[in-house]
């Protein structure tokens, strides 16, 4: 890995520090290098706040005071995504880089958002800055896979999650609640919840497990909760309907917004349900969703081809009988141990 890739790798590490706070913006990291030494770093602030480039430049100014301006003019900046070119919650970052006249801008990949795509590069080049694109491009696209999926497919990025026994059983035959994964895996799932915009379950999971779907075991914000409950069978006292997080209840009959609970009635409920639901969430600016439902719910999205990642915990315990795990075809990306469990991550092929 050469020095340019090393600096860009640092940008990607910084970008991921914004996970769970920047949506619907992309996660971006920026590194400013002067005479082969990093003098400023930044990543995108929580939504509505300063972008990565702004934070990196501000760090240089705060650190070097009167010397900052001359140092920036002799410096290079590495950015994991094309600097923005439009006025949104903040001014365009491309204009800021032109203002400080950095020597060169290294960009991992272009921003597919219509108001930016190529326009940020044009502003930089028109402003006299040298620009190079494509360092760790695929890695950068992976970091922002949620953002890219939302823009290209008009739906949230979908992550499936479940736990199964060593003999691939998902739940007991009697539908009783039964924990398969260990405590470390459970904590990791709470971390994932904090990183995604929303989490989804169906009626059966809400009734059997009575989950809160919050991040009790991790520091972070609770995701929006999505409940598929066609006939509104989940009682009002269920944990998923408490006021700890905003909950959207997709059903066949009721349309009503009550404080933290929003009831959304879908016409022809069973017709293309995953497609209907994901498009509604897209319209709500939800960029990613973690599906933790039962086999029926998970299989619905799998059969519709509407998933991007599957994260499967396998316990060493065996049952000999039970409800089989969902069936799917995916490319294995990673397999790691989480205490006694094995976590395998797949992507859709």
Q: Show pLDDT as tens, one digit a residue, over the chain (349 residues).
A: 799 999 999 999 999 999 999 999 999 999 999 999 999 999 999 998 999 999 999 999 999 999 999 999 999 999 999 999 877 667 889 999 999 999 999 999 999 887 788 899 999 999 999 999 999 999 999 999 999 999 999 999 999 999 999 999 999 998 777 889 999 999 999 999 999 999 999 999 999 999 999 999 898 999 999 999 999 999 999 999 999 999 999 999 999 998 899 999 998 999 999 999 999 999 999 999 999 989 999 999 999 999 999 999 999 999 999 999 999 999 999 999 999 999 999 999 9
Q: Which residues are annotated as a binding site for NADP(+)?
A: 163, 179, 205, 209
Q: Which residue has the tokens 């959304």?
A: 264
Strand partners, 80: none
Tokens standing for residue 339:
């205490």
Strand order in the sheet with 157-164: 256-258, 261-265, 247-251, 224-228, 198-202, 288-291, 157-164, 309-314, 341-348, 330-338
Residue 196 annotated as catalytic: no
Q: Which residues are annotated as a binding site for Zn(2+)?
A: 51, 84, 93
Tell me how far apart the alpha carbons of residues 120 and 133 are, in angstroms, rounded to a whole number. 12
Q: Which residues are annotated as a binding site for substrate?
A: 193, 213, 216, 292
> What is the distance of C-alpha 250 from the center of its chain?
22
Of the chain, the end-to-end C-alpha distance in Å amounts to 29
Q: Which H helix or E strand runs over 240?
A: none
- Contact in structure between 150 and 24 (CB atoms under 8 Å): yes
Choose among 157, 115, 122, 136: nearest CA to 6.
136
What's 75's DSSP letter?
A: -
- Contact in structure between 253 and 265 (CB atoms under 8 Å): yes
Choose among 14, 75, 71: nearest CA to 41.
14
Tokens standing for residue 309:
């990642």
Check 5, 16, 41, 53 and give the catalytic one.
53
Query: What pLDDT, on a 0 to 100 scale, did the predictor assign at position 115?
Result: 78
Residues sharing a CB contact under 8 Å with residue 56, sequence separation 6 or more, in sequence order:
30, 31, 32, 40, 41, 42, 77
Residues sharing a CB contact under 8 Å with residue 124, sequence separation 6 or more, in sequence order:
83, 94, 97, 98, 105, 131
- Contact in structure between 32 and 39 (CB atoms under 8 Å): yes
CB atoms within 10 A of CB 70: 11
| Pairing mode of beta strands 341-348, 309-314 | antiparallel
Q: Which residue has the tokens 């301006």?
A: 69
Query: What pLDDT, on a 0 to 100 scale, did the predictor assign at position 89?
Result: 67
């Amino acid at each position: 890995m050469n020095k340019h890739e090393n600096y860009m790798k640092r940008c990607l590490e910084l970008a991921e520090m914004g996970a769970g706070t920047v949506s619907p913006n992309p996660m971006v990291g920026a590194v400013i290098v002067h005479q082969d030494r990093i003098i400023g770093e930044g990543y995108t602030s929580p939504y509505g706040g300063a972008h990565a480039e702004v934070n990196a430049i501000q760090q240089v100014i705060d650190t070097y005071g009167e010397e900052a301006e001359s140092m920036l003019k002799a410096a290079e900046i590495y950015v994991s995504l094309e600097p923005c070119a439009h006025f949104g919650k903040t001014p365009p970052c491309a204009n800021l880089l032109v203002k400080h006249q950095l020597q060169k801008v290294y960009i991992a990949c272009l921003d597919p958002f219509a108001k930016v795509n190529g326009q940020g590069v044009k502003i930089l080049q028109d402003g006299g800055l040298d620009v190079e694109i494509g360092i760790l491009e695929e890695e950068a696209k992976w970091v922002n896979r949620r953002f890219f999926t939302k823009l290209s497919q008009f739906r949230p990025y979908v992550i499936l999650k479940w736990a199964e026994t060593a003999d691939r059983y998902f739940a007991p035959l009697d539908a009783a609640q039964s924990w398969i994964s260990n405590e470390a895996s459970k904590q990791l799932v709470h971390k994932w919840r904090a990183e995604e915009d929303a989490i989804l379950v169906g009626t059966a999971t809400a009734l059997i497990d009575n989950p809160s779907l919050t991040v009790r075991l991790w520091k972070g914000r609770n995701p929006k909760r999505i409940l598929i409950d066609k006939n509104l069978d989940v009682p009002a006292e269920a944990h998923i309907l408490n006021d700890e997080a905003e909950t959207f209840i997709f059903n066949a009959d009721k349309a009503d917004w009550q404080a933290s609970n929003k009831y959304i009635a879908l016409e022809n409920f069973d017709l293309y349900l995953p497609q209907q639901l994901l498009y509604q969430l897209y319209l709500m600016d939800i960029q990613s969703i973690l599906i933790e439902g039962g086999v029926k719910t998970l299989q619905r999205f799998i059969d519709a081809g509407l998933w991007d990642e599957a994260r499967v915990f396998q316990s060493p315990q065996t049952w000999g009988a039970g409800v089989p795990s969902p069936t799917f075809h995916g490319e294995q990306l990673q397999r790691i141990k989480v205490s006694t469990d094995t976590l395998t991550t797949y992507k859709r092929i």
